[in-house]
Structure 1
Amino acid sequence: MKNIVWIVGALLFLTSCSEKYRKIDKDDVTVGSERLDTILPEPKTQTEIREDLLKKGYQIFDVIDEKTKDTIIMQQYFIAFLKNGPNKIQNEEESKRLLKAHLAHLKNMYDLGYADISGPFGDIGDLSGITIYNVPTLKMADSLANADPMVKQGSLVIEIHPWWAPKGYSLR
């Protein structure tokens, strides 16, 4: 279990170090001979974000921030709780192979934009970790979560719940 925690932690650390997620002053940066502000697209307006989400089938609603009076778009996500399954892997080689396939699946979900974050829990219990899926339907989140090799093998089972969060907010 400690190996799983370390490997998933390392995977999350490496993806968080990616250049595209660092805050930079785009007026002072060039890539080759082009200024970064000519490469990066202009940010979308709230209306454009709202229309795009609705067109793709996402559930949303607006909330007004009492302090700033800003409109915040709340989007429905899906949290998949990864729980210990009935089939425990006895063979260490098979365990390593499945863990590698599991981590590759989670990375693929992240790279494709279906999952926003995944990670293991820091304690030992029935719950091993979570993945937050950024997809429009429970059916899609369930299908993606159940495509995980460790779920298919039965060493993990999935429990999914709808979850609302402000669109565009990040972890701190």
Structure 2
Amino acid sequence: MKNILYLGLLILGMLSRSYAQKTNAKYDHLLADSLGADNYGMKYYTFVLLKTGATKITDKDSVNRLFDGHMKNIQRLAKEKKLIVAGPFGKNERDYRGIFILNVKTIKEAEALLSTDPAIKTGLLISEITLWYGSAALPLYLEASEKVNKFEF
């Protein structure tokens, strides 16, 4: 009985060591804190799927003005570091138009930011919002993206 207990404790000790977490030697707590990272280097964002809305506008100048405002709003939100990722989809049968990843933790905050977009306000685009858990380093992408754009929008 004593040997079985000893063997059980030995196996338990080996298992606990094999699953023990190791501290990352490259961990930079100041950077992690500045980005709002948790212990796994992650944080919550809001993921926005933009789809074709129900509003139909036939006047091309009006549509162009709305989408010009949409692009200016994207640029403003990126400068404010609220918008981390934005981009359109190619043609598809699901009416998907593009995505945003917003650097906010709640759907309510995302809705407030999206309400400033003229294409969404008029119903040309509609949004589906969900929380997304991703790398806290994602905002660093913005710094690099500014250096690879040959032309400005």
Q: Percent identity between the aligned chains?
A: 29
- Structure 1 unmatched ranges of 5 or more: 1-44, 55-59, 64-72
Q: How far is the alpha carbon of 1:62 from its aligned partner? A: 2.5
Q: Which entry has the higher C-alpha Rg, 1 or 2?
A: 2
Do 2:50 and 2:97's aligned partners in 1 also have CA atoms closer than 8 Å? yes
Do 2:46 and 2:104's aligned partners in 1 also have CA atoms closer than 8 Å? yes
Counterpart-to-counterpart distance in 1, 2:62 and 2:135: 40
User: What one-letter code is carried by the residue in structure 2 that aligns with 1:141?
Assistant: A
User: What one-letter code is carried by the residue in structure 2 that aligns with 1:134?
Assistant: N
User: What one-letter code is carried by the residue in structure 1 that aligns with 2:50?
Assistant: L
Q: How far is the alpha carbon of 1:75 from its aligned partner? A: 1.0
Greater strand fraction, Structure 1 or Structure 2: 1
Q: How far is the alpha carbon of 1:88 from its aligned partner? A: 1.4
Instruction: Trace 1:1-172 onto structure 2 (pairs within 5 A).
Output: 46-52=28-34, 61-63=38-40, 73-125=41-93, 126-169=95-138, 170=141
Aligned residue in 2 for 1:29: none
> Alignment RMSD, CA only?
2.0
Q: With CA pairs under 8 Å and 6+ residues apart, which has the higher RCO, 1 or 2?
A: 2
* TM-score, L = length of structure 1: 0.59
Q: How far is the alpha carbon of 1:51 from its aligned partner? A: 4.0
Q: State the number of aligned residues.
A: 113
Do 1:151 and 1:157's aligned partners in 2 also have CA atoms closer than 8 Å? yes
- Partner SS, residue 62 of structure 1: coil
